[in-house]
Amino acid sequence: METPDITDKMALELEIVNTLKSIFDPEIPVNVFDLGLIYEIDVQADFHVQIIMTLTAPNCPVAESLPVEIREKISSIPGVKSAEVEISFNPPWDKDMMSEEAKLDLGFL
């Protein structure tokens, strides 16, 4: 199997982050990336993407729909062969996981 060009993989990772920044938690006016919900983005050699994420709470109302939306939008990026989204609550989410911009937008700074 041919090894992908590292710049292609890096460009794809950047596109994935940009896509994640376009997906918002419906209850909080901040995107899922800056909210700190994305724990890991793994672009494998075959361009299968594995995302490990969390939710703000285990009983979050979008626990069913948000991972599906993320999987669908990541899968639609040119170059992505497939995408899988896994939910993890380890470690549990807290507001310190948010970006500085998100904290500022929500009045935590």
AA letter at 24: F
Q: What is the pTM of this model?
A: 0.88
pLDDT for position 14: 95
* Domains identified in the chain and CATH numbers: 6-105 (3.30.300.130)
pLDDT for position 60: 84
pLDDT, tens digit (0-9, with 9 covering 90-100), for 63-101: 889 999 999 999 999 999 999 999 999 999 999 999 999
| Dist. CA 77–CA 82, nearest whole Å | 9
Give per-residue burial for 23-39: e unless 16+ CB within 10 Å, then b.
Answer: bebeeeebbbbbbbbbb
Percent of the chain with pLDDT over 90: 69
pLDDT for position 83: 97
